[in-house]
Chains A and B, each alone.
Chain A
Amino acid sequence: MSFAPEVLERLERDAKEIIARYPKPRSALLPLLHLVQSEEGYVSDDGIEFCADAVGITPAQVTGVVTFYTQYKQEPVGDYHVGVCINSLCAIMGGDQIWRELSEYVGVGHDEATEDGKVSLERIECNAACDYAPVMMVNWEFFDDMTPAKAKQLVDDIR
């Protein structure tokens, strides 16, 4: 495993505390995945191995869980993870168009990051801000009443 020793030590301490809360260690798996993801920005093979060891299951079992939940990323995301809501309402109010133009403008597709690692894009489902449709998210903070032009400006500003 390639975590730096002091990082590993901290992760192990946190993991122990989380695991202690539950009747069975496995219940700590989702919080542990959030933990390793917040360390590395995504769930790496090392992260998977760490979680598997911590709760006493196989890496394959952990992977089965990781792939089920869209918020666990298996590739590094950008410093700014940009989501465009393409669920029904946002889609018809302009979300589809925003996605098409932004994806072309940034040059990456769904769940992909730019080469400099600054920005990644994701098509997201309804983010419970339909009253501001169409919406976008940057690191899960939402931006309302977007247009393709505003979307490109937003990405330019954060880069």
Chain B
Amino acid sequence: DEPPARAAVPQAGQDGLVLLRRVGAVDPASLDDYRAAGGYLALRRAFALGPAAIIREVLDAGLVGRGGAAFPTGRKWDATARQPDHPHYLVCNADESEPGTFKDRVVMEGDPFAVIEAMTVAAYATGCRRGFLYLRGEYPRALWLLTNAVERARERNLLGVDILGSGFDFDVEIRRGGGAYICGEETAIFNSIEGYRGEPRSKPPFPVEKGLFGKPTVVNNVETLVNVLPILTGGAAAYAAVGTGGSTGTKLFCLSGTVRRPGIYELPFGATLRELLTLAGGVPEGRRLRAVLLGGAAGSFVRPGELDIPLTFEGTRAAGASLGSGVVLALDDSVDLTGVLLRIAAFFRDESCGQCVPCRVGTVRQEEALHRLARGSGPADVALLRDVGRAMRDASICGLGQTAWNAVESAIDRLGVFADGEKGRAS
């Protein structure tokens, strides 16, 4: 049988958890359990505050997007709320397909009502009467639990018409994806919901202005949304007191690879990579850390000598890396790094929607050059990778093409892969 969500949370049940506090502690199918554990306090507080004050709280809390790009959530909400064009739509991005990312699945399976409550708060703040939860097609258990949560919430007037007598109407539809990485890109989601191939649209216009069905749309990641609940129940100041000036609150990290206890960990922003790895039991005996991939396939590698990097948006940026969706993949020195790069390159080639030339051609060229390098070709192919990488980064329409060369570049520059005829084996 499939392990339950709580098995993926080594900290389950510990004090001090914010986003994961209910995972493993409540029955994810029970609305009564959810309420007994503090559920729906945030929505009541939201109705008492009113939309403008909620947005102010979210701005003051310093919440930024957890889908990978760290855009200020309050600004997005404010921009949507102000749009005169109606209706407004809300989309919860639950497509989670960045390799190495599994936090949203654990939240949705362990605390599904929180996702629905947070969507309701977001919709109220931004004037949306309709929300879509775009769920990765391969998540049957999350689908079941979220469907149940929506139905139970409707029964108690926590969704639907005149929610809790507030005069506010809102409902959620769960839309299943069809198995395409690119459909996590927000504008690709719009095309998918509208019944088209999931090809990204050019931005601007940003979704806040023209999104789903051409209307103002708020898109937020699952983890971003659930952060809104503690902001409302505890207040913006208390929320912002955790973390650093540039990255407030706590973050979910997806630990995998060569560590003793892989899983989802919640830590205040500002903890170092070393602290996180230590919390996960460190590298098993007899193994030696070779590299850590931060941010997933779209992220970059850091060296074992860089474990003091603070895990914040600004700290990783200063180190030339990125937090992305919170992937921390540890690799030991038995791993064939070239093999990993080839797999990442194949992934991007496969998942490119093919709509724009730099990405469609670039991802193929990148994979070909890596295959030649794996067979021992020389610096000319490294130079070619750089050219292709630059073209993809500068000229691709969407983030897929723009980030497809990140991991390879960092492996060359930081890990010394392909230097001096090295074929990627750890030295």
- Enumerate chain A interface residues (CB-CB to B < 8 A): 21, 23-24, 26-31, 33-34, 55, 64-65, 68-72, 86-89, 91-92, 124-133, 137, 139-144
Contact (A65, B262) CB under 8 Å given A71-B179, A92-B340, A130-B256? no
Closest-CB distance, B159 to chain A (whole angstroms): 15
In the complex, A137 Cα to B139 Cα: how many Å?
A: 11
A140 CA / B350 CA spacing, docked (Å)? 21
Q: Which of B30-38, B73-81, B95-103, B357-365 contacts A (4 or more CB under 8 A)?
A: B95-103
Give the total of B residues in contact with A, Cβ under 8 Å.
55
Distance of A31 Cα from B178 Cα, bound (Å): 10
Residues of chain A with a CB closer than 8 A to B264's CB: 131
- Whether the Cβ atoms of A88 and B99 lie closer than 8 Å is yes
A130 and B339 contacting across the interface, CB-CB below 8 Å: no
Can you list 26 contacts pairing A with B, beta carbon distance less than 8 Å? A24-B194, A26-B195, A29-B195, A30-B193, A31-B175, A65-B197, A68-B178, A69-B137, A70-B179, A88-B100, A89-B100, A89-B329, A125-B99, A125-B350, A126-B98, A126-B101, A128-B97, A128-B105, A128-B138, A129-B102, A130-B99, A130-B329, A131-B262, A137-B138, A141-B140, A142-B2
Q: Closest chain A residue to B261 by CB distance?
A: A131
Chain B residues lying within 8 Å of A69, measured Cβ to Cβ, are 137, 177-180, 183, 198
Residue among A27, A31, A34 with the highest chain B CB neighbour number at 10 A? A27
Interchain CA distance A107-B176 in the complex, whole Å? 31
Taking CB atoms, residues of chain B closer than 8 Å to A65 are 195-197
8 closest Cβ contacts across the A-B interface?
A69-B178, A29-B195, A71-B179, A26-B195, A128-B102, A131-B262, A130-B256, A70-B179
User: Is B387 positioned at the interface, with any CB of A under 8 Å from its CB?
Assistant: no
Q: Interface on B for A, CB 8 Å cutoff?
A: 2-3, 8, 96-102, 104-105, 136-141, 173, 175-181, 183, 192-198, 213, 254-257, 262-264, 297, 329, 331, 335-336, 339-340, 343-344, 347, 350-351, 353
In angstroms, Cα B104 to Cα A132, docked, is 16
Contact status B102-A30, CB under 8 Å: no
- Min CB distance A71 to B, Å, is 4
CB distance from A80 to the nearest CB of B (A): 14
* CB nearest neighbor in B for A67: B197
CA distance A157 to B139 in the complex (A): 24
Beyond A71-B137, A130-B257, A133-B257, 10 extra complex contacts between A and B, CB < 8 Å: A27-B194, A29-B195, A30-B192, A34-B176, A68-B353, A70-B179, A87-B343, A88-B100, A129-B102, A133-B256
* Closest residue on chain B to residue A83 by CB atoms: B138
Partner of B100, one of A23, A126, A139: A126
Q: Which residues of B contact A34 (CB under 8 A)?
A: 176, 178
Q: Within the complex, what minimum Cβ distance (angstroms) separates A36 from chain B?
A: 13
Residues of B within 8 A of A86 (CB): 343
Q: Are the C-beta atoms of A91 and B343 separated by less than 8 Å?
A: yes
CA of A155 to CA of B344, assembled, Å: 28
Q: Are A27 and B193 in contact (CB under 8 A)?
A: yes
B178 touches A125 (CB 8 A): no
Contact across chains for B99 and A87 when beta carbons are under 8 A apart: yes
User: Are A30 and B195 touching (Cβ within 8 A)?
Assistant: yes
On whether A26 and B194 interact (CB within 8 A), knowing A87-B343, A132-B3, the answer reads yes
Give the distance in Å from the alpha carbon of A65 to the alpha carbon of B193 in the complex. 12
Please tell me if the beta carbons of B178 and A33 are within 8 angstroms of each other in the complex: yes
- Nearest to A62 among chain B residues (CB) is B195
Q: Quick check: A89 and B175 within 8 Å, CB to CB?
A: no
A86 to chain B: closest CB distance in Å? 8
Assembly CA distance A129 to B100 (angstroms)? 8
Query: Which residue of chain A has its CB nearest to the CB of B344?
Result: A88
Q: How far is the CA of A150 from the CA of B81 in the complex (A)?
A: 53
| Given contact pairs A88-B99, A88-B343, A89-B329, A68 touches B180 in the complex (Cβ within 8 A) | yes
Most buried by B among A68, A71, A141: A68
Which residues on the A side are within 8 Å of B195 (C-beta)? 24, 26-30, 55, 65
User: A132 vs B347: C-alpha distance in the bound complex, in angstroms?
Assistant: 20
Shortest beta-carbon distance from A29 to chain B in Å: 4
Evaluate whether A126 and B97 lie within 8 angstroms (CB atoms) in the complex, with A71-B178, A88-B340, A92-B336 already known.
Answer: yes
Q: Is the CB of B176 within 8 A of A30?
A: yes
